[in-house]
Structure 1
């Protein structure tokens, strides 16, 4: 594919010193933007219990604070690449970064959960667009050689630092200042990024850019949104309720429409033929495995530390470092292992390591008075497994297809990550509420409290699952003291988190086996059936 370099002649006339200076400024801009994106993923979960109190929210709204971000990212991922190729990568990067800063300002100004969720959707859409542009800008600014390798390495390290230290940053901001600054800090960084981008980033576009697949983008986003809505609201109203079944039917219709659109479109959003490549399919299963276990659980883990164990936001942020820092340390190890032993072994092995971490966390949670040592050890091992898996997955999805299709492969990988993440944020939330509800019913069925909440255990469990243990204290009519009710609430939270960690461990281990089978061809018949279904759609 020929690329028209807007500043090609000017670039040729630049001195080596001037070009090096521009590249340095561009790399700084890209790295700071990556820092913003990754911080926003890992710092916000720490303040969710705080937001639930100050903005008077409920458990479903806490889920949507995170899911609005991930769903919006999914919506724009593939479209942004096309728009950037057509209208200019620097231009789209600047617009996306500016919108991210505006959305971050709006998040901090939000006075209600509804306003915050809407602002988070805009933040997620602009963040997803910014993420895609980062790769495009780096690829153009550093086209080849050792300079390119160093640039992508620095970018990856900074992205990992943001993810690894995000919980500590979020906890420290809440402890030292105000939750609003978790969002407003990005406004300040945005100003710096825009200045650096103006001075350092070169414009480029592709005169042969493919047309935007609007139909594919809309139908896929609607299908994911409908399924997430089914999980989130079906947990409260029942999966057989009319609203839940309507959402499920809507999701199914949109998914079928998406498959048909992609099959007939001359410029499809997804080229499903890449699924025939064994290495790509195996790596994609690895991508799904990380996002059905490790990443959705980071949304709920701060609630466990702060509400079940009674930690402060800062202490919870420090505790979460055991979960996130290994993701920064182990990627180089995973990359070396993949080179030596092949991704077919490293990716499933990394997923199994995540599973072991979840099972250890399950044991730590289930132990009397919560075994902190097992919990921390489980966090460390799960983080190590994520670190071992992530880089080989990314390298394999792009490296297992031709260079001309690498962008498509990367887009499918990123979309799969955000889609599975959004679905499992909702699914883990539903499991957490169900586990809390089951314990409350067993513990309080013989008390006057049961009469006060007859028929509404699910609603009461949702409040407890969000960390609102005071919701159990309904007044003097209860036969249990406030201390006893608090103990019941914490025990219910522990039970719910036991369900979630057990599910996370089982799910990631199952996907590890599927990944290995896809790599080795053991699921050849299953894959062929899936291909035939896609061909017939």
Structure 2
């Protein structure tokens, strides 16, 4: 069998690829227009973070629920509903006139996008079950997803330059219509005959835990990390997470089946999912700030510079799938994570030179993108392929939850590290300042790359730093700390992935008795 026979499989693959293109564009095009949104919608640094985090948090809230709903009511049916929701909410995002409205609409757009993403993986897993065809299908999916990611930055920058920022969102309303036609024509309906109930308690407790942690990271410093309000958030977050574990352990049909973690290949792949989102993906939100703020590039040039970071994700996935078939994913996935870490080290060196430019950042960006391309599709294919096909919705839900929970947390953490790095540098460079609150306000502006009116807003800064040398150095210092954090995080998870996959010869055999027990815990 090939991808062309039966014909409906080719149409289904086209539908999946088109919706993955939308999802990829939505991730990579929005960061390049954040500075425009900051000016047009008068958004501050925290609101800019929430414009991205609302999307990722919303994805997380629906991931596991979507997997369960798709298993029970039909993957095609839920896929159609998710595309409709994504198209409508993209239209609302494009019509938003304030940061708060955009944040709320981005949340609902994220719900549609998260559900759509889960269904993509489940549809591929059902319609392409044989090894070689499955690898080709996931490879094609990875290529198109990479196109959305790779060209998203330049597309976003060009849209703002030619038209306006609204069309970064509005374009998805039109693409959704085409995608729906392809889904109706080619996607087969499938479901899990054993799925009975929706795990509402699990969805609510996991969502509350994720939201509480991200809220504490972003708002805790302003509240006071040891304040009663901040400590209450921490307590509520911890209780929600404990409740989630208890609920899932007691549920007869949990959305988060912990028994699958006894499958070594599944666990190793999940650490790979987390590794990418401790490093590559959250940094993509902030890298445009470096190009625009530290290097002074306009939107289009920023988009062109980001191509080095994203284009390898388009080129590498087919080779990564071949490597995984030849050498096994348990070797390819940790290697990809290790390469991402090397890329961050090179980027940190490139950003720290005296005359930094896109050229000094180029080697690190290329290496990061290459590592991501080596990791992304093998992770998804391995995670879903290590469980029985009728549990594909649950497996893809756990995979994407690991990705998006890690992404949401690390968007917040990287923003916190960037802000605190800028603040600490400014405090050293501007000694004797008693204007603590104004210094924090200044650090927020610098961390957002907004240098336009800094000297007008701060008389102290105008006197101490008339040429912007201090604020530029503060931003570079903050980014250096963020890159160091990314290296530590991705290499730690690469090591955990190696341990989870196992070093023995038995580690790659998916049909062991333990794996079968984990696949069918009820037997």
Q: TM-score, with normalisation over the residues of structure 1? A: 0.87
User: How do 1:256-271 and structure 2 match up within 5 A?
Assistant: 256-271=242-257
The Cα shift of 1:148 comes to 5.8
Closer, same or farther: CA 355–23 of 1 in aligned 2, 3 Å: closer
- Please say if 1:353 is aligned against 2:339: yes
Question: Does the 8 Å contact 2:146/2:310 carry over to 1?
Answer: no
Q: Which of structures 1 and 2 has the bigger CA Rg?
A: 1
Give secondary structure in 1 for the equivalent of 2:436. Answer: coil
Closer, same or farther: CA 520–133 of 1 in aligned 2, 3 Å: closer
User: Root-mean-square deviation (CA), in Å?
Assistant: 2.4
Out of 221, 226, 230, which is 1:235 matched to?
221
Give secondary structure in 2 for the equivalent of 1:355. Answer: helix
Question: Does the 8 Å contact 2:294/2:476 carry over to 1?
Answer: yes
Distance in 2, Cα, partners of 1:265 & 1:159: 35
Q: Deviations over 1:156-196 (max 9, x none)?
A: 32122111211111111111110000000001111222233
**Matching residue of 2:178:** 192
- Please say if 1:502 is aligned against 2:484: yes
**Matching residue of 1:13:** none
Out of 519, 524, 537, which is 2:501 matched to?
519
- Please say if 1:305 is aligned against 2:287: no
Question: Does the 8 Å contact 2:71/2:393 carry over to 1?
Answer: no
Distance in 2, Cα, partners of 1:66 & 1:120: 8
Question: Does the 8 Å contact 1:472/1:489 carry over to 2?
Answer: no
**Matching residue of 2:514:** none
Give secondary structure in 2 for the equivalent of 1:56. Answer: coil
Question: Does the 8 Å contact 1:282/1:344 carry over to 2?
Answer: yes
Distance in 1, Cα, partners of 2:437 & 2:108: 37
**Matching residue of 1:100:** 86
Closer, same or farther: CA 305–194 of 1 in aligned 2, 3 Å: same
Question: Does the 8 Å contact 2:121/2:396 carry over to 1?
Answer: no
Distance in 1, Cα, partners of 2:121 & 2:33: 30
The Cα shift of 1:131 comes to 1.5
Distance in 2, Cα, partners of 1:288 & 1:351: 10
Distance in 2, Cα, partners of 1:491 & 1:248: 34
Closer, same or farther: CA 377–122 of 1 in aligned 2, 3 Å: same
Distance in 1, Cα, partners of 2:461 & 2:275: 45
Question: Does the 8 Å contact 1:472/1:485 carry over to 2?
Answer: no
Give secondary structure in 2 for the equivalent of 1:473. Answer: helix
**Matching residue of 1:73:** 59
Question: Does the 8 Å contact 1:43/1:171 carry over to 2?
Answer: yes
User: How do 1:398-437 and structure 2 match up within 5 A?
Assistant: 398-437=384-423
Question: Does the 8 Å contact 2:295/2:357 carry over to 1?
Answer: no
**Matching residue of 2:519:** none
Distance in 1, Cα, partners of 2:486 & 2:140: 31
The Cα shift of 1:474 comes to 4.2
Give secondary structure in 2 for the equivalent of 1:469. Answer: coil
- Please say if 1:119 is aligned against 2:101: no
Question: Does the 8 Å contact 1:60/1:232 carry over to 2?
Answer: yes
The Cα shift of 1:66 comes to 0.9
Closer, same or farther: CA 93–286 of 1 in aligned 2, 3 Å: closer
Q: TM-score, with normalisation over the residues of structure 2? A: 0.89
**Matching residue of 2:364:** 378
Closer, same or farther: CA 39–307 of 1 in aligned 2, 3 Å: same
Q: Deviations over 1:124-179 (max 9, x none)?
A: 00111112222334455556687666544433321221112111111111111100
Out of 114, 117, 122, which is 1:128 matched to?
114
Question: Does the 8 Å contact 2:147/2:314 carry over to 1?
Answer: yes
- Please say if 1:183 is aligned against 2:165: no
Closer, same or farther: CA 476–255 of 1 in aligned 2, 3 Å: closer
Number of residues of Structure 1 aligned to a counterpart in Structure 2: 501
Out of 339, 361, 370, which is 2:325 matched to?
339
Q: Deviations over 1:26-75 (max 9, x none)?
A: 44333222211111011111111111111001111111111111111111
The Cα shift of 1:371 comes to 5.4
Closer, same or farther: CA 351–197 of 1 in aligned 2, 3 Å: closer
Question: Does the 8 Å contact 1:89/1:203 carry over to 2?
Answer: yes
Give secondary structure in 2 for the equivalent of 1:362. Answer: helix
Distance in 1, Cα, partners of 2:84 & 2:352: 46
Give secondary structure in 2 for the equivalent of 1:163. Answer: helix
